[in-house]
């Protein structure tokens, strides 16, 4: 049943996506943007209703399995961390270190319940923090009562509304909360699932102050060993050491990956470096078709969104081929579309499997092991040669948040491998072309290509942890897809500014990690005498700009850059040049040079 409902909606959304990408008529584009947002809302609603109807018809089954408590909690952290981050909310997980390590129960449904509580908390909390607390009571011999509470500093619930909290489609304080997304079914599903598992829920709330939702769920204990520190587990996950204790090597394996974004291809290759898998890359559907006709691959990974020929079209073209060396090879789609139901629709198109972007290294490895012929996969114990990061790095990374960058997040996408991360940063810093391209598209009012290009920028920024830049790029992507050239034009400066800030942050990070830019002339040569620039010299350059002698000032600054400079001075001069040449903001350049 669920598939029958989801498939046509996904088809509508997919076709609409084509309109958004290919249509040039602004009016039609704005209609299509509306179809997209309503379609997605409809899909969320349907997923909830399907769950509820399963519950009501008694078909919802609780499927208990053995699971690691920390796996569940880490998943919850990953889901909620991003959402909270977008709203600048603080997230706090307080986990009792004596909780049993391995439990037996329906981890999928436990996760669904707590995810619902956490997302509600984030949704209804405009500022402050959301706290998840987990502890337990011993119940019977091998059973515990898992006590999970979610506390927020949000808008709270009025006393008179408390009783209506679990009604279907109910959203309290409707007038005030009408802008909040969701179906209003979440709490009802939560309550039903709790009943099925023999648990219960308690709500305390103070209007305008915040709420605490506490659920108690009985779970069997498999391994009584204490789980230990969650903070430590999170750090280990960050370094890619959890869940991938067992790694593999497959030097005979050949994998083809198709993506129009060069950075994604590099990420992909880097993530698989230590597995010794041969990764062949193609940057378009057309190139992919040429390659699959020539040599055999064990797996093909294909991006969905590509210009000219997208992943689905390419897949269909491959399926039409006969007498070629890749008949029946698994083709896995790479997509940022993580909506539930998206998986089904990709499989219906003919893809073998589905992997969401940004690519998670562990999931990628697991998938590759699954699809590779067993005889060419050699399992091996994880070596510890990877860079060991101490947990104290977290606070050390905090300073990059002023550049809108979460190093922690960026590192986690590179599986905690600092070298891989720095390679990606290098690529980001050296891609000068992208900005010129975008600017050209605005100038030509080509919102179609602007949308595609800014989409790539958003993806790259997100992969590196440059969240502020990614957020702005995302807004530009949405607006350009809706054909809103005025918005893009007016907010271009804002995008450039965030872009430059992110660049500065990454440059600093490279310096801090001993990775100085590859260009020889950029490095400080300790054997040569350092070229000193006095405060008076800086003032002279600033005064030239102030007197509108910008060209002379630029000449002076570029001349300085040819010398053996201290890193901080080089950075300062480059920022000033950037402000003049790219942003046409003379006041900013003056401020930088005067050190204000």
Partner 1 sequence: MLKMLENILGEKYHFHGFSKGARALKFLTYKVPSLLILDIDMPELNGFELLKIIKNDENLKNVPVIFLTSNGDRDHVIGAFKTGANDYVVKPVKEEILMEKVLKLMNDKSNKDMFF
Residues that bind partner 1 (CB under 8 A): 436, 439-440, 442-446, 485-486, 489-490, 492-493, 547-548, 550, 582-587
CA separation for the pair 427, 441 (Å, rounded) = 22
Q: In the complex with partner 1, which residue's Cβ is closer, 490 or 521?
A: 490
At its nearest, how many Å lie between partner 1 and the CB of residue 452? 17
User: What are residue 63's phi and psi, to 5 degrees?
Assistant: -110, 95
CA separation for the pair 475, 322 (Å, rounded) = 43
Q: In the complex with partner 1, which residue's Cβ is closer, 249 or 549?
A: 549
At its nearest, how many Å lie between partner 1 and the CB of residue 28? 16
At its nearest, how many Å lie between partner 1 and the CB of residue 489? 7
Q: In the complex with partner 1, which residue's Cβ is closer, 173 or 497?
A: 497
| Residue 368 CA: distances (Å) to CA of 240, 349, 376 | 17, 21, 11
At its nearest, how many Å lie between partner 1 and the CB of residue 581? 8
**144: which strand partners?**
138, 219
At its nearest, how many Å lie between partner 1 and the CB of residue 500? 13
Q: In the complex with partner 1, which residue's Cβ is closer, 189 or 438?
A: 438
Residue 517 in contact with residue 523, Cβ under 8 Å? yes
Question: 260: Cβ–Cβ under 8 A, 6 or more apart, which residues?
Answer: 283, 284, 303, 306, 307, 456
Residue 263 in contact with residue 430, Cβ under 8 Å? no
At its nearest, how many Å lie between partner 1 and the CB of residue 446? 8
Question: 46: Cβ–Cβ under 8 A, 6 or more apart, which residues?
Answer: 5, 6, 9, 341
CA separation for the pair 570, 523 (Å, rounded) = 10
CA separation for the pair 6, 40 (Å, rounded) = 11
Q: In the complex with partner 1, which residue's Cβ is closer, 26 or 539?
A: 26
Q: In the complex with partner 1, which residue's Cβ is closer, 191 or 580?
A: 580
- DSSP SS3 for 526: coil
CA separation for the pair 321, 424 (Å, rounded) = 36
Closest CA to 410 of 402, 393, 399, 422: 422
Question: 589: Cβ–Cβ under 8 A, 6 or more apart, which residues?
Answer: 542, 545, 553, 576, 577, 579, 580
Q: In the complex with partner 1, which residue's Cβ is closer, 158 or 437?
A: 437
**H-type helices in 406-549, by residue range?**
407-413, 418-430, 433-443, 447-464, 467-481, 485-490, 492-512, 535-546
CA dihedral 362→367→373→379, nearest 10 degrees, is 20
Write the DSSP assignment of 289-334 as a string of letters.
HHHHHHS--SEEEEES--SSS-HHHHHHHHHH--S-TTTT--EEEE
CA separation for the pair 168, 165 (Å, rounded) = 9
Q: In the complex with partner 1, which residue's Cβ is closer, 353 or 549?
A: 549
| Residue 349 CA: distances (Å) to CA of 304, 316, 357, 530 | 12, 8, 19, 62
How many Cβ atoms from other residues are within 10 Å of residue 519's Cβ?
Answer: 8
What the block records as the tokens of 258 is: 């198709």
At its nearest, how many Å lie between partner 1 and the CB of residue 438? 10
| Residue 554 CA: distances (Å) to CA of 66, 280, 544, 576 | 66, 44, 9, 9
Q: In the complex with partner 1, which residue's Cβ is closer, 54 or 491?
A: 491
Q: In the complex with partner 1, which residue's Cβ is closer, 263 or 447?
A: 447
Q: In the complex with partner 1, which residue's Cβ is closer, 234 or 574?
A: 574
At its nearest, how many Å lie between partner 1 and the CB of residue 260? 24
Pairing type for strands 378-381 and 246-249 reads: antiparallel
At its nearest, how many Å lie between partner 1 and the CB of residue 29? 14
Cα 268–chain centre separation = 15
At its nearest, how many Å lie between partner 1 and the CB of residue 308? 23
Residue 301 in contact with residue 8, Cβ under 8 Å? no
At its nearest, how many Å lie between partner 1 and the CB of residue 444? 5
Q: In the complex with partner 1, which residue's Cβ is closer, 201 or 542?
A: 542
Burial status of residue 132 (CB atoms within 10 A of its CB: 0-12, 13-18, 19 or more): buried
At its nearest, how many Å lie between partner 1 and the CB of residue 433? 13
Q: In the complex with partner 1, which residue's Cβ is closer, 407 or 482?
A: 482
At its nearest, how many Å lie between partner 1 and the CB of residue 510? 26
CA separation for the pair 473, 495 (Å, rounded) = 7
Q: In the complex with partner 1, which residue's Cβ is closer, 167 or 489?
A: 489
At its nearest, how many Å lie between partner 1 and the CB of residue 118? 39
């Amino acid at each position: 049943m669920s598939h029958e409902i989801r498939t046509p909606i996904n088809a509508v959304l997919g076709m609409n996506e084509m309109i958004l990408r290919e249509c040039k008529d602004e009016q039609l584009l704005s209609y299509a943007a509306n179809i997209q947002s309503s379609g997605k809302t409809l899909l969320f609603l349907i997923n909830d209703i399907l769950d509820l109807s399963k519950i009501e018809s008694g078909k919802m089954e609780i499927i208990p399995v053995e699971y690691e408590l920390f796996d569940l909690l880490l998943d919850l952290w990953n889901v909620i961390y991003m959402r909270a981050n977008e709203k600048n909310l603080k997230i706090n997980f307080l986990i009792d270190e004596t909780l049993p390590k391995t439990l037996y129960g329906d981890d999928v449904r436990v996760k669904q319940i707590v995810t619902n509580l956490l997302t509600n908390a984030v949704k209804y909390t405009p500022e402050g923090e959301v706290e998840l607390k987990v502890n337990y009571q011993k119940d019977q011999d091998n059973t515990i009562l898992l006590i999970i509470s979610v506390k927020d500093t949000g808008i709270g619930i009025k006393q008179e509304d408390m009783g209506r909290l679990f009604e279907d489609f109910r959203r309290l304080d409707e007038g005030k909360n009408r802008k909040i997304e969701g179906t209003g079914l979440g709490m009802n599903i939560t309550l039903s699932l709790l009943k099925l598992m023999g648990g219960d829920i308690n709500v305390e709330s103070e209007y305008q102050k915040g709420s605490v939702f506490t659920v108690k769920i009985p779970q069997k204990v498999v391994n009584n060993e204490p789980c230990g520190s969650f903070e430590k587990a999170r750090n280990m996950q960050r370094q890619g050491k959890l869940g991938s204790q067992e790694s593999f090597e497959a030097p005979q394996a050949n994998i083809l990956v198709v993506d129009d974004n060069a950075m994604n291809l590099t990420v992909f290759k880097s993530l698989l470096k230590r597995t010794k898998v041969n990764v062949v890359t193609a940057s378009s559907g057309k190139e992919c078709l040429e390659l699959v006709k020539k040599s055999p691959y064990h797996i093909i990974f294909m991006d969905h969104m590509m210009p000219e020929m997208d992943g689905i079209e390419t897949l269909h073209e491959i399926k039409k081929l006969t007498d070629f060396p890749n008949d029946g090879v698994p083709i896995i789609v790479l997509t940022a579309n993580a909506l539930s139901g998206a998986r089904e629709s990709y499989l219906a198109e003919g893809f073998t499997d589905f992997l969401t972007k940004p690519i998670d290294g562990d999931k990628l490895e697991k998938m590759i092991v699954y699809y590779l012929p067993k005889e060419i996969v050699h399992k091996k114990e994880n070596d510890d040669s990877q860079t060991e990061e101490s947990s104290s790095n977290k606070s050390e990374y905090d300073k990059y948040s002023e550049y809108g960058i979460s190093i922690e997040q960026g590192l986690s996408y590179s599986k905690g491998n600092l070298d891989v991360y720095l390679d990606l940063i290098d690529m980001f810093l050296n891609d000068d072309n992208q900005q010129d391209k975008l600017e050209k598209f605005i100038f030509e009012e080509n919102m179609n290509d602007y949308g595609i290009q800014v989409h790539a920028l958003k993806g790259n920024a997100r992969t590196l942890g440059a969240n502020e830049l990614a957020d702005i790029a995302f807004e530009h992507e949405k607006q350009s897809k809706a054909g809103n050239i005025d918005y893009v034009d007016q907010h271009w400066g804002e995008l450039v500014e965030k872009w430059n800030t992110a660049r500065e942050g990454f440059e600093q990070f490279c310096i801090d990690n001993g990775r100085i830019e590859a260009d020889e002339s950029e490095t400080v040569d300790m054997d040569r005498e350092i070229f000193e620039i006095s405060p008076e010299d800086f003032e002279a350059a600033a005064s030239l700009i102030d007197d509108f002698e910008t060209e002379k000032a630029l000449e002076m600054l570029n001349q300085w850059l040819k010398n053996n400079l201290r890193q901080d001075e080089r950075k300062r001069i480059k920022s000033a040049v950037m402000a003049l040449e790219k942003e046409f903001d003379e006041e900013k350049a003056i401020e930088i040079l005067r050190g204000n």
